[in-house]
Structure 1
Amino acid sequence: MYTWHWQTWNELPYLTCSLLEKWPHGFFTHHCWPRSPAELVASLQPQAEVYRVKQVHGNTVLTTNQIGDISDFPVSEPESVAYPEADGLVTEQSQQAVWVASADCTPVLIADRQTGLVGAVHSGWRGTAAKIVPQAIGRMLEQGCRLENLLLAMGPAIAGEVYQVSEDVAEAVCASVVAGSNSDKLGSLLDQFSDVGVLDDPEPGKVRLDVRRVIGLQLEQLGVAPEQVAIAPYCTYQTPEHFFSYRRDNLRKVQWSGIVSRELA
């Protein structure tokens, strides 16, 4: 339904999705490392104010007014800046660029086709278990957005077929979409709900987990229609030519994803 396109900026590749074509946005590759959002914004909208956070694998979502523009922060040493702790950002006006970093976790970019406001979310297994994407949607609704006007693109992330986790991790994530699961064991969850993003693994006590599938189910349960959601056909673990993967390389390097809010007629 939606197409994904490779773009270039200064001969560096990044990915865009036709679902979000009205908004400057990009899922950047490891080729852009170690450039920061303050530099990468030039590829999207050079005049936009830039916002990012210190990601902590939680479900806190902040608005741009809560953290402040980082354009004046030191570009050469971004890690020296005391960014607010959160894993999601939503804008409050046009010309604001929000960014998240990932290296196997799912970057989710959100846009509202009525207000032009946008959000960016970092959703690893912990954030997914804590429903950070629904939390971000809730913040956007507080900003005057409507559920039926939201468009969401999930960027490159580790695919379920190669993401081995413990049964306890899978249970915690599945509990976010399985009603009344609380203390149930994984086996009983799978017996009752066979399509929750969990696959078999040959190692005892382990399974494979499709985090993007679980996020999709969370959106479905909120009432988001399938045509409002796009999922990138790329796995960070299996695409070393384009993406860092912490699970594959065990390196603390990331790729950035960002989107710029705009005024819509």
Structure 2
Amino acid sequence: MHAWHWHTWEDLPYLTCSLLEPWYHGFFTKQFSPSSPFEITKALHPEASVYRLKQVHGNAVFSPAEIEDWLTKFVNEGEDDSAFASGDGLISTEPLQAVWVATADCTPVLIADEKTRQVAAVHAGWRGTALKIVPQAISRLQAQGSKLENLRIAMGPAISGEVYQVSQQVAAEVGASIVPYNDEKAILDALENIPLSPLLPDPEPARVRLDVRRVNTLQMEALGISLEQIAIAPYCTYQTPEYFFSYRREHQKKVQWSGIVSK
């Protein structure tokens, strides 16, 4: 098992994973709110350049150069220059680039390559997971030289399957990313038969509990990534109100940030 460690910066708590130990990284708590990545990056590396997105529950993955091109285009067209590119994944291309995602129940995924030293940050809610955003980010890393066996992946605090009630339709939409069926019932039946199934029963009709982090793990295993390369934080945002915002619990748009710096 990979270890998770609590740290503090200016007396505020954040979490790291032993799997990503060589990289400056953190899964930051609600105690850092309302600070932005431009401030929180100082806790990781004060000289790193900072990149974030306007998250839209899709599967678009950007590099820093693509973000800068996007900003230049819109500033030149007279748009608000504080706007962010719309996407849910970021990959670094050079050293000292801090990439960030915000989450409240969705899964923050930080990825690092022990050979190229490049990193990625991904926001994987159920919609992004259904659209395979983590494999998409991994594909972008591979396009710039990463090999699967050199990746280390940490999934941070997120809502756990035991409390995440969704419709069978949503579960089937997500499940279609890992089982080869189109029919809702066939997908749900196949998911239930997977060892350590991401589906759990729910007392309400037409509802199930869904473990989104488990689905992401299964997507990565399907690519050929081993379980030893993947760590999952032992924290549920919904069940840990002292440290994490939860949209399901509070119905407010408050977020915590997760980030990693390339080397």
Q: Tell me, which stretches of 5 or more residues in structure 2 are unaligned?
A: 70-79
Task: Report the identity percentage.
Answer: 62
Cα 1:36–1:174, aligned 2, differ >3 Å: closer, same or farther?
A: same
Task: Indicate the residue corresponding to 1:161 in structure 2.
Answer: 162
Cα 1:191–1:160, aligned 2, differ >3 Å: closer, same or farther?
A: closer
Task: Indicate the residue corresponding to 2:173 in structure 1.
Answer: 172
Cα 1:144–1:244, aligned 2, differ >3 Å: closer, same or farther?
A: same
Task: Indicate the residue corresponding to 1:73 in structure 2.
Answer: none
Cα 1:97–1:203, aligned 2, differ >3 Å: closer, same or farther?
A: same
Q: Tell me, which stretches of 5 or more residues in structure 1 are unaligned?
A: 70-78
> Over residues 56-104 of structure 1, what are the superposed CA-to-partner deviations in whole Å (9 max), with x where a residue is unaligned?
00011111111139xxxxxxxxx98210000000000000000000000
Partners of 1:47 and 1:218 in 2: how far apart? 34
The question of whether the paired residues in 1 share the 8 Å contact of 2:192 and 2:198 is answered with no
The total of aligned residue pairs comes to 252
Counterpart residue identity of residue 40, structure 1:
I
Partners of 1:187 and 1:152 in 2: how far apart? 27
Deviation >4 Å, runs of 4+: none
Query: Normalising by structure 1, what TM-score?
Result: 0.92
Partners of 1:190 and 1:88 in 2: how far apart? 26
Task: Indicate the residue corresponding to 1:57 in structure 2.
Answer: 57
Partners of 1:83 and 1:187 in 2: how far apart? 37
> Over residues 119-150 of structure 1, what are the superposed CA-to-partner deviations in whole Å (9 max), with x where a residue is unaligned?
00000000000100000000001111111100
> Over residues 193-223 of structure 1, what are the superposed CA-to-partner deviations in whole Å (9 max), with x where a residue is unaligned?
4644010000011000000000000010000
**1:9 and 2:9 aligned:** yes
The question of whether the paired residues in 1 share the 8 Å contact of 2:179 and 2:191 is answered with no
Query: Normalising by structure 2, what TM-score?
Result: 0.93
Cα 1:28–1:80, aligned 2, differ >3 Å: closer, same or farther?
A: farther
How many Å apart are 1:183 and its aligned residue? 2.3
Task: Indicate the residue corresponding to 2:32 in structure 1.
Answer: 32
Partners of 1:152 and 1:52 in 2: how far apart? 19
The question of whether the paired residues in 1 share the 8 Å contact of 2:61 and 2:91 is answered with yes
Task: Indicate the residue corresponding to 1:45 in structure 2.
Answer: 45
Partners of 1:81 and 1:116 in 2: how far apart? 29
Counterpart residue identity of residue 66, structure 2:
Q
The question of whether the paired residues in 1 share the 8 Å contact of 2:6 and 2:15 is answered with yes
**1:257 and 2:226 aligned:** no
How many Å apart are 1:107 and its aligned residue? 0.1
Partners of 1:23 and 1:123 in 2: how far apart? 21
